[in-house]
Amino acid sequence: MKLVRFQNPVLTSWPAFGQLSDLRDEIDRLFEAPLSQLGTAASVFGGWTPAIDVFEDKENVVVKAELAGMKKEDIEVTLHEGTLSIAGERMAEKKVEEAALYRSERFFGRFQRAVTLPAPVDGAKVKADYKDGILTVTLPKTEEAKPKQIDVSVS
């Protein structure tokens, strides 16, 4: 008599099982993606939240915000306890007095966004640059936050 480990026949003959977990992944992605896109359909919700991208490399955290048509004096960038705030007010360039307004899709007025940074940064060395309507904030990481090689000693 040979002792054979009992194998549950139902599980092994269920080829769709792997595909079900794929389906779950797809559904998860489906829910993740549109919600962030909903955030940028600002005209629907009556406010304006500029789109923000966050990047991180070994040295810096870089935050880019799409803020077209602003004057740099009207943009406020503040850093407080690991949260970067970008706020400001966009002024209408042309006074709409005698002019008839055909389309008004652009938003004017006050906006504010806050981003929690993925790593601690050195507030004194932050640089912000505004070009072609994109505000780029470069935040150098603190020394402790930079990845370090730790030598393993064998005793």
| Binding region for other proteins (CB under 8 A) | 16, 19-20, 22-23, 26, 33, 36, 39-40, 43, 51-58, 60, 62, 64, 66-70, 93-94, 96, 98-107, 118, 130-134
**If we measure between CA atoms, which residue out of 49, 74, 70 comes closest to residue 133?**
70
Closer residue to other proteins (CB): 6 or 102 = 102
Distances in Å between the Cα of 100 and the Cα atoms of 94, 96, 105, 107 are 12, 7, 14, 17
Question: CB of residue 1 vs other proteins: minimum separation in angstroms?
Answer: 40
Expressed in angstroms, the distance from the first to the final Cα of the chain is 52
- The 10 Å Cβ neighbour count of residue 42 is 15
* Residue among 67 and 121 whose Cβ is closer to other proteins: 67
* Distance of alpha carbon 145 from alpha carbon 142, whole angstroms: 5
Which residue's CB is nearer to other proteins, number 101 or number 154? 101
State the minimum distance, in angstroms, from the CB of residue 59 to other proteins.
8
Consecutive H or E run containing 20: helix 17-40
* Of 88, 77, 86, 87, residue with least CA distance to 123: 77
Separation of alpha carbons 123 and 141, rounded Å: 9
Q: Between residues 5 and 58, which has the closer beta carbon with respect to other proteins?
A: 58
Q: Whole-number minimum distance, CB 134 to other proteins, in Å?
A: 5
Least separation, in Å, of the C-beta of 99 and other proteins?
Answer: 4
Q: Identify which of residues 22 and 123 has a Cβ nearer to other proteins in the complex.
A: 22
Q: How far is the CB of 57 from other proteins (least distance, A)?
A: 3
